[in-house]
Structures are given as C-alpha cells and as structure tokens.
A and B are shown apart, each in its own frame.
Chain A
C-alpha cells in the first residue's frame, strides 16, 4: 500500500484506469438499453432515410477490441522471448487498431470512396517519405 502512494504512476494511472473501465461499462450498458424511436419524418424535407452503417452495439464491440489489442501490445512489450520480432508484431497490432478506427469509427468503410482516397493519399505519401528519409539517413524503427 505504501508503494502505491509513493509511485506517482500508480497514483495517477490507477484512477485513470478505473475511470476508463467505468466508461467502458457505461458504454456497454447504454448500447444495449432500448433506444428512443427515430422520428417518422426526421429527414431533410421530411424524407426518412435508412443509413447503412454500424449501430451502437457494434461500436462498443470495436471499442472492446481496441482495448484488447492495446492490452496485447503492452503484454508483448514485456515478453523478452519476443524481442527479436517485437517491431513487426507491434506494428501489425498498431495497424489493426488504425484500420478499426479509420474504417468503422471514421466510416471510411461505409462512406464515399473519395474521402478514403483523400485520406489514403496523404497517408501513403507520408509513409513513403518516412521510409525514404529513415533509410537514407540511417535511422531504424527500433
């Protein structure tokens, strides 16, 4: 107990973790609570439109997956036996988190492809530039 109060990381980190877990639990409960019915003529000009995309339950599931991948990242970080292949594993896990957020939360999976093209254009360009710069100037990821 004394060590807990002497370690600022635990002192700050533990309440943050509790708040995060409470938030996740609330999200889970809210997602499965009965939703209010959508107004009949709520669309623009009174037209009701069905929008293809995930619902709250799916968003919460993706959130749980993101939390699980983060936990896996931290676990892998502490496994000394995996040190040789740590970089590829961590990059793969980060890429999966990136894709989950971009495709589902930012709706790139469901939206017009022009948006995905604009974003992917910037992203691909920066990854290419980073690789060239790091290789040219002799830096590494690890």
Chain B
C-alpha cells in the first residue's frame, strides 16, 4: 500500500551516509538500550528464584491487571504511530490529538505501575527485602523511568505544537520520539512475557 506523506528528510541529505544523523544516533542509542535492559532482565531471571525469604513472585503477581496495563501501552504505540502519520500528511490538529492520547495512555500505564508497586510494598516486597524484590523493582522501575521521560517529551512537543512551533517539516522530531516510545513498548512486551507470564504461574 502506498501512502502519500511528506517526510522531513525528503531530499538527499548532505551527510556521509545520506541519512539524517539524528535518526542514525537514535537507532544507535536504541541498540545500546537493548544491552541495558538485557542486563537487567538477565539479572532478574538469575535471581528471582534465589530469594531465601518471601514474598515470592507467585504470591504477588496479578496477571489480569498487568495484562490490562500491557494492553494500554500497546494502544499507546498505535496512537503514537497515528500521530506520526498525521504530521507527515500535514494534519497538525490530528497529530496533537494523537500525541495527547499517547501521553495519556502512557500516564495510565505509569499509574498502573505505581499501584502495582504500592500493592507489592504493602505485601512486604521492597528493594532490599530479597533478591526477587531488588531485581524486580530495578528492572520495572527503570522501564517506568523511560516511560516517564517519553511522556514528558510527548507533552513538550504537544505544548510546542499548540504554540505553533511544530510544523510539517518537523516531522522527524515526532518520528524520533516515536522510535523511542515504540522501543519502550517493545521492552515491555519482553518484560511482560519473561518476568510476569513465565514466572507468575
């Protein structure tokens, strides 16, 4: 299917690769982020069953609740890509709607995470209660921090757009935050399966 849009980098760029360096840098950053989250997930998988005192994962996980959170984050990826499609065709009004929708869904996900952390803490799990607690909170906490940064960037682009400072020619900026947002979503897909579904039963 061919979709008529107008990328910001429509003309060949005067770089050694012919590609926009900002986008190249973003992909390089995301490649390094794979290693960052990979190390945290490995640490979790190594230590989750080595706690000598409780609480243990099976006593705490609420899979239906986490499934809904995952669904919310997945839908935020859809609204993010719709925001990019909107700015690429010059529809700034719809771009603002989808950007705001993405930020709100991201905030909903963070609210769910805050609720989950509070519940776990009430049941005796903390950063220093056992190995499971340490690795779980560090992994999901860093992911939550990434989502928070994404929400802040989304809202800043939304505000700048309301001020008339975002134009169709700035679509690369929306594409870059979109890449970051989708990466955060992809990381959650892995966490949801490896950390929750494969451990919770």
Contact = CB atoms under 8 A, between A and B. Distances in A.
Interface string A52-82: 1111101110110011001001100100000
A72 B180 CA distance: 26
Which of A42, A58, A86: most chain B Cβ within 10 A? A42
B5 A105 contact: no
Interface in A94-126: 94, 97-98, 101-102, 104-106, 112, 114-115, 118-119, 121-123, 125-126
Contacts of B103: none
Interface residues of A, number: 77
Contacts of B134: none
Interface residues of B, number: 79
Interface of B: 1-11, 17, 19, 23-24, 27-28, 30-35, 37-39, 41-42, 45-46, 49, 62-65, 67-72, 74-75, 77-82, 85, 88-91, 94, 101, 105, 108, 111-112, 115, 119, 168-169, 178-179, 182-183, 185-186, 189-190, 192-194, 197-198, 200-201
Given A51-B7, A98-B186, A126-B38, 18 more contacts: A9-B64, A12-B111, A20-B105, A23-B75, A23-B101, A38-B4, A53-B5, A60-B82, A70-B70, A73-B67, A94-B194, A97-B189, A101-B77, A101-B185, A104-B81, A114-B17, A137-B46, A141-B194
